[in-house]
Structure 1
Amino acid sequence: MTYTVNCSILLTELPLLERPAAAKAAGFDAVEFWWPFGTSVPTDAEVSRFENAIADAGVQLTGLNFNAGDMPGGDRGLLSWPARSTEFQDNIDVVAGIGERLGCKAFNALYGNRIDGASAQRQDAIGAENLATAAAGVAGIGGTVLLEPVSGAPRYPLLKAQDALDVIARVKRESGAENIKLLADFYHLAVNGDDVAAVIEKHASGFGHIQIADNPGRGAPGTGQLPLGEWVARSRALGYQGYIGLEYKEPAETAFSWALRA
């Protein structure tokens, strides 16, 4: 099984730039990150420190989020946020540059919460335009933009797989973009009441990425009740060939002391 450690939610006892080496020491060869900077356009020195931390650890960066705003403060993306649309667009070249230098080809664009003072129709139009721009921005390095349903964010409009797939279909229809895919986070889908098994049966071969955590609690596999091993195995059987993102909450000392068979 090819796992990739999300170093933005795991190993958080360590400074951010020490986490890739810790993931390597734990036996993993791949990592992924949410946007690791405070702004859409960090300094060259900040970017170099981040890239060097990954290269020096000897791990592959397999996924990177676009800037999603203040995540601890409740933001869930800039993609459809009218007042911050330019910030998102400015972020695209930075993300693509990191991807090109580190060989990363998967980039998660969180859709964004509904915003007071902006109609859903306007936000969705802006979101579709920005998704198309992002897809074009990473196409040159063979990149894929990922779109995911999210739980625990009351104003986030993409709750089930079909919500994200409908947006992807709209962007493809309006712009012709082919490199936007569903990020199937089994935890978020399950918490939001989606039929995860049915989503897998219908769409697994086209998943852009899979992430896992158990429920309740968003803990490590085996701490809850989700059949994660079965879901991963079925996704593989139906053609999914990518990494499995470990995006759960667990103290560093016990973060990987589970035995998921898939």
Structure 2
Amino acid sequence: MPDPLLAANVSLLFTEVPLLDRPARAARAGFDAIEMWWPFESPVPAASDLADLLLAIEDAGTALVAMNFFAGDMPAGERGVACDPARAADLRANVDVVGAVAERTGCRRFNLLYGKLAPELDPPTQHAAAADAVAEAAATLHPTGAVVLLEPLAAELNGSYPLHTLEDVLAVIDGPLRERSALNVAPLFDTFHLGMNDVDIVAAAVRHGARIGHVQIADAPGRGEPGSGALPIAAALRSLRDAGYAGPVAAEYAPTTTTESTLGWRTTL
């Protein structure tokens, strides 16, 4: 079984330097690939800001293998806007920008966070808005060959975000999204979020590995580098590969010290 392509999430790793310097920093640390959260405050950044980011990635020689869609104000607690009917125009505009990134970089994995359910709105209306948003994003990106990812998040850390397990995600994919013919949608397997929700990540990998669209690793508790917590990350990765997952594995953790000093886990996978 070949070793997985390892990617550095430069929204959490190498934060010792500014974002535009992180792709090169990742390359010097031995990563051939990177991923990132949506790096701009708005769904449609200034053309010059987007151009600077893409040039930094190209100059570093790293492949962009995954990226988030616009997810609202993450520092303020938002976790996506897909389920908010009032944010549909923001997300629609962002999807067009993401499509341009896909064309320019060859990136084929884009994570669309579902959003937190608002207590003042009818839940079925919010779920329908999310399904419409994901289906529209999937249709827009389909010509590029890209996959839209849906991610379960840790329940105790993310408020009313409703997707906590792979089964939650698959219920959306096999239900309302299939009804909307959104076939290029897949679950994101994040060891930290699943582990925090008391999911057996090895068993989940065995059960769903063939359907996973992307993998991110961090340990739990703490969300530090692999080995800083108690999760059987190496075993889960082996089970994912055995079950048919052949994509990259992204390090999306909060380093417990400087990034470079936490990279010893790479020899243990």
TM-score class, shorter: over 0.9
Q: CA deviation at 1:162?
A: 0.8
Aligned equivalents of 2:261 and 2:165: distance in 1?
A: 30
SS state at 2:206 partner: helix
Alignment of 1:40-51 (within 5 A): 40-51=43-54
Q: CA deviation at 1:260?
A: 4.6
Match of 1:89 in 2: 92
Q: CA deviation at 1:252?
A: 2.1
Aligned equivalents of 1:63 and 1:42: distance in 2?
A: 18
Matched, 1:120 2:127: no
SS state at 1:210 partner: strand
Alignment of 1:148-227 (within 5 A): 148-151=151-154, 152-227=157-232
Aligned equivalents of 2:99 and 2:7: distance in 1?
A: 20
Matched, 1:77 2:83: no
Q: CA deviation at 1:208?
A: 0.1
Match of 1:234 in 2: 239
Two-structure CA RMSD over aligned residues (Å): 1.1
After superposing on structure 2, the runs of 4+ consecutive aligned residues of structure 1 that deviate more than 6 Å are: none
Aligned equivalents of 1:62 and 1:259: distance in 2?
A: 18
Q: Structure 1 residues 259 and 132 mapped into 2: Cα distance closer, same or farther (>3 Å)?
A: closer
Q: CA deviation at 1:72?
A: 1.2
Aligned equivalents of 1:235 and 1:247: distance in 2?
A: 17
Q: Is the contact between residue 29 and residue 260 of structure 2 (CA under 8 Å) also seen in structure 1?
A: no
Q: Is the contact between residue 128 and residue 170 of structure 1 (CA under 8 Å) also seen in structure 2?
A: no
Aligned equivalents of 2:48 and 2:39: distance in 1?
A: 13
Query: Could you tell me the percent identity over the aligned residues?
Result: 42
Aligned equivalents of 1:118 and 1:13: distance in 2?
A: 41
1:55-113: CA deviations, max 9, x gaps?
Answer: 00000000010000111110000111122121111100100101110010100000001
Q: Is the contact between residue 131 and residue 177 of structure 2 (CA under 8 Å) also seen in structure 1?
A: no
1:227-247: CA deviations, max 9, x gaps?
Answer: 100100111111110000100
Aligned equivalents of 2:54 and 2:222: distance in 1?
A: 32
Gaps of 5+ in 2: none
Q: Structure 1 residues 259 and 95 mapped into 2: Cα distance closer, same or farther (>3 Å)?
A: closer
Q: CA deviation at 1:124?
A: 0.2
2:58 corresponds, among 55, 58, 65, to 55
Which residue identity does 1:53 align to in structure 2?
Answer: A
Q: Structure 1 residues 212 and 260 mapped into 2: Cα distance closer, same or farther (>3 Å)?
A: farther
1:103-138: CA deviations, max 9, x gaps?
Answer: 101000000011132111111000000110000011
Aligned equivalents of 1:198 and 1:256: distance in 2?
A: 26
Q: CA deviation at 1:193?
A: 1.6
Aligned equivalents of 1:24 and 1:104: distance in 2?
A: 17
Match of 2:11 in 1: 8
Q: CA deviation at 1:257?
A: 2.7
Q: CA deviation at 1:253?
A: 3.6
1:132-181: CA deviations, max 9, x gaps?
Answer: 00000110100000000011102111111111111111243321111000
Q: Is the contact between residue 12 and residue 254 of structure 2 (CA under 8 Å) also seen in structure 1?
A: yes
